[in-house]
Structure 1
Amino acid sequence: MNLIEPILAQAAAITQLRREIHAHPELCFEEVRTANLVAAKLTEWGIPIHRGLGTTGVVGIVQGRDGGKSGRAIGLRADMDALPMTEFNTFAHASTQPGKMHACGHDGHTAMLLAAALHFSEHRNFDGTVYLIFQPAEEGGGGAREMIKEGLFEQFPMEAVFGMHNWPGMDVGKFAVSTGPVMASSNEFKITITGKGGHAALPHNGIDPVPIGCQIVQGFQTILTRNKKPVDAGVISVTMIHAGEATNVIPDSCEIQGTVRTFTFEVLDLIERRMKEISEGVSAAFGAECAFEFLRNYPPTINTPYEAEFCRRVMAGIVGEANAVPQEPTMGAEDFSYMLLEKPGAYCFIANGDGAHRGSYEGGGHDAGPCTLHNPHYDFNDDLIPLGGTYWVQLAEAWLGHQPPADRPMPGKA
């Protein structure tokens, strides 16, 4: 493994920053303490900053040995927010905020980019500019979208943008990246069927919305099996059905809610259209009214081909060809997708291991629970800090040290 020695030498100090962030988690758009820590460190290291995009976002501006005169630039992004859940670990750096926890490793993402920032401040081995994007509100708040709306790419023009997420279950020392969709779109729906309530013993006097809702839910599965191409991925999950208050009363209404996940906009368009047609059509057939709501949250995360392959070559130079592996697409969602709609780039995974690293903590403080994402037993593996920092530095130096082809594919709907 080819780690950058100065980053390795600073790993213990960055680890302490990571654990400080972990102990003080903040939810989306509330990352004031975390943003202050990031801003203070960047300033201490002589890196100019811009604050306030997306409410609490921080952008560090690192100019190379040419003072940025080349006009070329690359963006590196890390998210900062935590999740609204209670941590079960009791080690020394466990959350001090009840109901808040860094259960997805954004504390580690911030730390890896800080490790790269410290190295950049001392070794500017590139011509151009590296923008260090510390983003708020990935966990449902759409912080990337908000930073873009407020002028991220206008104020900090860059040729490409890159992101990274830790991935539990993969052996430490591996990276994963692939071309095309790597994370799904995230969408929500709410369907309200309004019938005519009445006595359960006299169903002929009313319009029962419950069997109508059952028909609709069953009908949704035909979208996946009969409307969508079998080779295209798509998931419709009905997760909530609410109706009625008493066993002998036919309710006036029935409410159905759930999520939809797809890797492409075309499949998403198809599913939304057919869900609406089925919901309204079935309701009308039984004499009921239907209100259909569909909320598109995060779009699919789609890596552009040239940038994904470029990342893979950088990874292979650090950990070897065998450890730079294809990225298996996941139905999880990620708001870095908004950045990849605007700029070419790639979102990769860095292996977080199986959780055994928690056994090295002085005094213990964790139990046998799984170290998986969004789990109360999770903790970021600090061994990744020098590896992730090395990747960020070598990626930026390699990108700014070559000229990408002008005719390479740009972002677009997959």
Structure 2
Amino acid sequence: MQSQDNLYARLSDFHDVEADLAETRHYLHAHPELSFEEAETARYVADKLEGWGYEVTRNVGGHGVVARLSAGTGTKSVAIRADMDALPIQEDTGAAYASAVPGKMHACGHDGHTTMLLGAAEYLARTKRFNGTITLIFQPAEEAGHFSGAQRMIADGLFERFPIDAIFGLHNHPGAPAGAILTRSGPMMAAGDTVTITITGKGGHASRPHLTVDPVLVACNLVVTLQSIVSRNIDPTQTAVVTVSTIHAGEASNVIANTATISMSVRSFDPAIRAFLEQRIRKLTQSVADGHGATATVDYENGYPVVVNAEKETAFARQVAEELIGTEGVSTCHLIPGSEDFAYFLEHKPGSFLRLGNGETSQILHSSKYDFNDASLTTGAALWARLVERYLDA
């Protein structure tokens, strides 16, 4: 009788394909495509999946690819998602497989995410040691910031056309050992909102400020005031970020401009706090502007919501990870102030978003020197294969 370990995918099952996974990843890395432009990446992915026997649907919500495969008599279906898009950054890694497209690179590791899911897909199609239906989601435009690939795929009937019981995804994690797996139940990654404030005063000559309403002065006062929101209005046991990222006004040193513009990034982990931050930003902006005789408009754009992992599915994913690499390789993830559009999937279906170590000396995400760590590829592929087998065998 086989031990439970031998019933499901193991790291050793992927040792023979390490070079193949690296070759796939290097190809994708050298041919990056930005959000909404992933036509060739989607074609590459879809062609491979069809060759392995998956039922493939292309152009779901844009360049999205959905692949389905069934085995046995099971009625459950589990979905795994990987993102495909790159970033508008000039690569500076010096790698032999560096981006061949000027000004575009895989600076967030989506080439690795796609490769790992392809590796799991090939293994599952070859072994068919599962009882139910696999749904693999290769998503475009995660980096879009608003009306992203996840939103577009959902709007295109993703869950109605391809019914599932649960959904899982992951992102690589610079700073954690390569191949380590991090999980967290409940809120994990922040909601990310973008705010643009336009202050209108009365311009004039810099030598006669008393005849003007200086929007730069108003903007500077407002920046200081906005920094009080988190420190004086948010419970210290909660987490929120209000960052003023840009201030733009005028073009000449001897001219007081008519307008000044501030842009901000706002992060939160709780819907109530998210709503409160917007309320305070709007109120303080109007108060400061009124106090100086200026006017202000606030353009508040809600970005991705909080990534909230379901307790049951997270506990299951952690158990699978511990079976695969041992308890010493699995840890609880800290709250991450970055945002992720996988949150939209979790608003519709139970599931969990994981993190996979990219190496303790890895460059940070969105850096021109960042590169996905090939040493993590087999762990990610084996994790997805085992998770599918275990979920559909439960």
TM-score where L is the length of structure 2: 0.94
Equivalent residue in structure 2 for 1:249, among 249, 255, 266:
255
Does residue 95 (structure 1) correspond to residue 99 (structure 2)? The answer is yes
Equivalent residue in structure 1 for 2:373, among 357, 369, 381:
381
Give ranges in structure 2 of 5+ residues lacking alignment. none
Mapping of residues 68-107 of structure 1, within 5 Å: 70-107=74-111
SS in 2 for 1:372: coil
2: CA distance, partners of 1:295 / 1:122 = 45
Measure how far apart 1:91 and its partner are: 2.8
SS in 2 for 1:101: coil
Equivalent residue in structure 2 for 1:33, among 36, 40, 53:
40
Query: 2:270 aligns to what?
Result: 264
Does residue 138 (structure 1) correspond to residue 142 (structure 2)? The answer is yes
Query: 1:113 aligns to what?
Result: 117
1: CA distance, partners of 2:201 / 2:364 = 43
Measure how far apart 1:338 and its partner are: 0.9
2: CA distance, partners of 1:203 / 1:23 = 55
Does residue 233 (structure 1) correspond to residue 239 (structure 2)? The answer is yes
SS in 2 for 1:278: helix
Mapping of residues 59-208 of structure 1, within 5 Å: 59-66=66-73, 70-141=74-145, 142-208=148-214
2:11 and 2:324 in contact (8 A); partners too:
no
Measure how far apart 1:50 and its partner are: 0.6
2: CA distance, partners of 1:243 / 1:97 = 34
Aligned partner letter, 1:60: A
Aligned partner letter, 1:156: F
Query: 1:294 aligns to what?
Result: 300
Mapping of residues 293-372 of structure 1, within 5 Å: 293-354=299-360, 371-372=363-364
Measure how far apart 1:252 and its partner are: 1.1
2:34 and 2:86 in contact (8 A); partners too:
yes
1: CA distance, partners of 2:231 / 2:372 = 39
Aligned partner letter, 2:70: Q
Measure how far apart 1:299 and its partner are: 1.0
1:3 and 1:386 in contact (8 A); partners too:
no
1: CA distance, partners of 2:245 / 2:377 = 37
Moved more, 331-340 or 135-144: 135-144
Equivalent residue in structure 2 for 1:282, among 277, 288, 291:
288
Aligned partner letter, 1:17: T
1: CA distance, partners of 2:23 / 2:36 = 24
Measure how far apart 1:4 and its partner are: 4.5
Does residue 392 (structure 1) correspond to residue 384 (structure 2)? The answer is yes
Measure how far apart 1:51 and its partner are: 0.7
1:228 and 1:270 in contact (8 A); partners too:
no
User: Deviations along 1:8-61, whole A, 9 cap, x unmatched?
Assistant: 322322221111111111111111111111111111111110111121111110
2: CA distance, partners of 1:7 / 1:62 = 20
RMSD: 1.6
2: CA distance, partners of 1:148 / 1:47 = 21
1: CA distance, partners of 2:363 / 2:69 = 35
SS in 1 for 2:142: coil
Distance 1:273 1:117, change over 3 A: same
Equivalent residue in structure 2 for 1:15, among 4, 17, 22:
22
1: CA distance, partners of 2:329 / 2:83 = 25
1:7 and 1:116 in contact (8 A); partners too:
no
2: CA distance, partners of 1:90 / 1:150 = 39
SS in 1 for 2:265: strand
2:198 and 2:261 in contact (8 A); partners too:
yes
1:29 and 1:54 in contact (8 A); partners too:
no
Measure how far apart 1:128 and its partner are: 1.4
Identity %: 42
Measure how far apart 1:247 and its partner are: 2.2
Q: Matched residue pairs, number?
A: 385
SS in 1 for 2:358: strand
Give ranges in structure 1 of 5+ residues lacking alignment. 356-369, 403-414
2: CA distance, partners of 1:372 / 1:251 = 38
TM-score where L is the length of structure 1: 0.90
2: CA distance, partners of 1:76 / 1:105 = 17
1: CA distance, partners of 2:363 / 2:197 = 36
1:11 and 1:115 in contact (8 A); partners too:
no
2:60 and 2:158 in contact (8 A); partners too:
yes
2: CA distance, partners of 1:247 / 1:132 = 57
Measure how far apart 1:204 and its partner are: 2.4
2: CA distance, partners of 1:331 / 1:151 = 30
1: CA distance, partners of 2:259 / 2:91 = 38
Measure how far apart 1:386 and its partner are: 1.8
2:184 and 2:333 in contact (8 A); partners too:
yes
